[in-house]
Amino acid sequence: MPSSPSAAPAPGQTWDFSDITGSNDSLRRFLHGLPGVDQVGAESRAASLGTRSIKTTAKAYALDLAIRMVDLTTLEGQDTHGKVRALAAKAMRPDPADPTCPAAAAVCVYPDMVGVAKEVLGDSGVHVAAVATAFPSGRAALDIKLADTRDAVEAGADEIDMVIDRGAFLSGHYLQVFEEIVAVKEACRRDDGQSAHLKVIFETGELQTYDNVRRVSWLAMMAGAHFIKTSTGKVQPAATPPVTMIMLEAVRDFREATGQMVGVKPAGGIRTAKDAIKYLVIVNEVAGPDWLDPDWFRFGASTLLNELLMQRTKMTTGRYSGPDYFTVD
Amino acid sequence: MTFDYAPAPESRTIVDIKASYGLFVNGEFVDGTGTSFKTINPATEEVLAEVAEASEADVDAAIKAARRAHTRVWSRMPGKERAKYLYRIARIIQERGRELAVLETIDNGKPIKESRDVDIPVVAAHFFYYAGWADKLEHSGYGTRSLGVAAQVIPWNFPLLMLAWKIAPALACGNTVVLKPAETTPLTALLFAEICQQADLPPGVVNIVTGAGATGQALVGHPDVDKVAFTGSTAVGKAIARAVAGTDKRVTLELGGKAANIVFDDAPLDQAVEGIVDGIFFNQGHVCCAGSRLLVQESIADELLTKLKRRMSTLRVGDPLDKNTDIGAINSAAQLARIHELSDIGELEGAGRWSPECELPTTGFWFPPTLFTGVTQAHRIARDEVFGPVLSVLTFRTPSEAVEKANNTPYGLSAGVWTDKGSRILHMAGALRAGVVWANTFNKFDPTSPFGGFKESGYGREGGRHGLEAYLKGGE
Contact B323 A52 (CB under 8 A): yes
Residue A80 pairs in a beta bridge with none
Q: Which residues in chain B have their CB less than 8 angstroms from residue A37's CB?
A: 268, 270-271
Greatest C-alpha distance within chain B:
72
B369-400: pLDDT as tens digits? 999 999 999 999 999 999 999 999 999 999 99
B420–A37: do the CB atoms touch at under 8 Å? no
Residue A3 predicted with pLDDT over 60: no
pLDDT at B476: 53
Does B284 lie in the same domain as B247?
A: no
Rounded average pLDDT over A129-143: 96
Q: What is the pLDDT of residues A64-96, one digit of tens each?
A: 999 999 999 999 999 999 999 999 999 999 999
Cα–Cα dist B215/B154, whole Å = 12
Among B3, B323, B440, whose Cβ lies nearest the Cβ of A292? B3
Q: Quote the pLDDT of residue B71.
A: 98
**What is the structure's pLDDT at A13?**
55
Residues of B in contact with A41 (CB under 8 A): 268, 270-271, 274-275, 440-441
Whether residue B8 is contained in a domain is answered as no
Distance of CA B74 to the CA centre of its chain: 27
Test mutation, B1, B116, B271, B276, chain A, max A CBs within 10 A: B271
Verify whether the Cβ–Cβ distance A42 to B266 is below 8 Å: no
What kind of fold does domain A17-31+38-46+54-321 have according to CATH? Answer: TIM Barrel (3.20.20)
Residues B34, B66, single domain; the answer is yes
Confidence of residue A326 (pLDDT cuts 50, 70, 90): confident
% of residues, chain B, pLDDT over 90: 99
A276 to chain B: which residues are within 8 Å by CB? Answer: none
Bridge pairing between strands A299-301 and B293-297: unpaired
Length, in residues, of chain B: 476
Confidence bin at B170 (pLDDT 50/70/90): very high
Pairing state between β B20-21 and B46-51: parallel
Rounded to the nearest angstrom, the minimum Cα separation between A7 and chain B is 15
**Residue A328 confidence (pLDDT):** 78
Whether B449 is covered by a domain: the verdict is no
Side chain identity at residue B75, one-letter code = S
What residues of chain B lie within 8 A of the CB of A242, using their CB? Answer: none
The nearest alpha carbon in chain B to A39 belongs to B271
B6 vs A contacts (CB less than 8 Å): 54-59
Per the domain annotation, does B434 fall within a domain? yes
Amino acid present at A32: H
Q: Do B242 and B271 sit in the same domain of this protein?
A: no
Residue B155 and residue B81 share a domain: yes
**CA distance to partner chain A, nearest, from residue B43 (Å):** 20
A61 vs B324: CB contact, 8 Å cut-off? Answer: no
Say yes or no for a CB contact (<8 Å) between B271 and A37.
yes
Q: What is the DSSP letter of A260?
A: -
- Which residues in B lie closer than 8 A to residue A61 (C-beta atoms)? 1, 3-4
Residue ranges of domains in chain A: 17-31+38-46+54-321
Nearest to A280 among B3, B269, B303 (CB): B3
> pLDDT tens digit string along A279-305?
999 999 999 999 999 999 999 999 999
- Sheet strand arrangement including B250-254: B28-30, B23-25, B206-208, B176-180, B149-153, B227-231, B250-254, B458-459
Q: Which residues of A are catalytic?
A: 161, 229, 265
At A8 the pLDDT is 45
Tell me whether residue B444 is in a domain.
no
Which DSSP category does B327 fall into? Answer: B
Packed helices A241-258 and A39-49: angle between N→C axes, nearest 10 degrees: 100
* Domain residue limits at B293: 260-439
Q: Which of B210, B33, B132 is nearest to B464 (CA)?
A: B132
Task: Give the minimum alpha-carbon distance from B103 to chain A in angstroms, rounded to a whole number.
Answer: 20
Q: What is the model's pLDDT at position A324?
A: 87
Phi-psi region of A288 (alpha: psi -120 to 50; beta: other; left: phi over 0): left
Residues of A in contact with B1 (CB under 8 A): 61
Neighbouring CB atoms inside 10 A of B138's CB total: 10
Nearest chain B Cα distance for residue A118, angstroms: 31
Q: Are residues B305 and B427 in the same domain?
A: yes
Q: Do A41 and B274 touch (CB under 8 A)?
A: yes
Is A289's CB within 8 Å of B441's CB? no
For residue A187, the tally of other CB atoms under 10 A from its CB is 23
State the pTM of this model: 0.95
Same domain, B108 and B63: yes
Kindly state whether residues B88 and B183 are assigned to the same domain. Answer: yes
Residues B57 and B198 in one domain: yes
CA distances from A325 to A85, A92, A295, A301, A328 (A): 20, 17, 30, 20, 9
Confidence category of residue B450, pLDDT binned at 50, 70, 90: very high
User: What residues of chain A have any CB closer than 8 angstroms to a CB in chain B?
Assistant: 1, 35-38, 40-42, 44-45, 51-59, 61-62, 65, 246, 249, 256, 280, 284-285, 289, 292
Q: Please provide residue A264's backbone torsions phi and psi, each rounded to the nearest 5 degrees.
A: -130, 140
Based on the fold, state whether residues B157 and B195 are members of the same structural domain. Answer: yes
Query: Omega into A237 within 30° of 0, i.e. cis?
Result: yes
pLDDT at residue B271 tops 90? yes
Count how many domains chain B has.
2
| Overall average pLDDT of the B266-275 stretch | 98
For residue range B65-120, list pLDDT tens digits in order. Answer: 999 999 999 999 999 999 999 999 999 999 999 999 999 999 999 999 999 999 99
- The maximal CA–CA distance of chain A, rounded, in angstroms, is 60
Residue A320: the pLDDT is 85
Residues B234 and B276 in one domain: no
Instruction: Answer for the pair A299, A267: CB distance below 8 angstroms, yes or no.
Output: yes
Contact B323 A53 (CB under 8 A): yes
> pLDDT value at position A323?
84
Q: Shortest Cα distance from B324 to chain A (angstroms)?
A: 6
Say which CATH number the domain at B461 has.
3.40.605.10
Q: Is B254 a catalytic residue?
A: yes
pLDDT, tens digit (0-9, with 9 covering 90-100), for B301-325: 999 999 999 999 999 999 999 999 9
Cβ B235 vs Cβ B157: under 8 Å: no
Using the predicted structure, report yes or no on whether residue A157 has a pLDDT greater than 70. yes
Q: Annotated catalytic residue: which of B288, B385, B456, B462?
A: B288
**Same domain flag for B44 and B166:** yes
In this predicted complex, what is the ipTM? 0.95
What's the rounded Cα separation, in Å, for the pair B24 and B346?
Answer: 43
Among A1, A6, A38, A215, most B C-beta atoms within 10 A, so best to mutate, is A38
The pLDDT confidence band at residue B475, using thresholds 50, 70 and 90, is: low
Q: What are the tens digits of pLDDT across the range A199-254?
A: 999 999 999 999 999 999 999 999 999 999 999 999 999 999 999 999 999 999 99
Please count the residue pairs, one from chain A and one from chain B, whose beta carbons lie less than 8 angstroms apart: 71
Do B264 and B251 belong together in one domain?
Answer: no
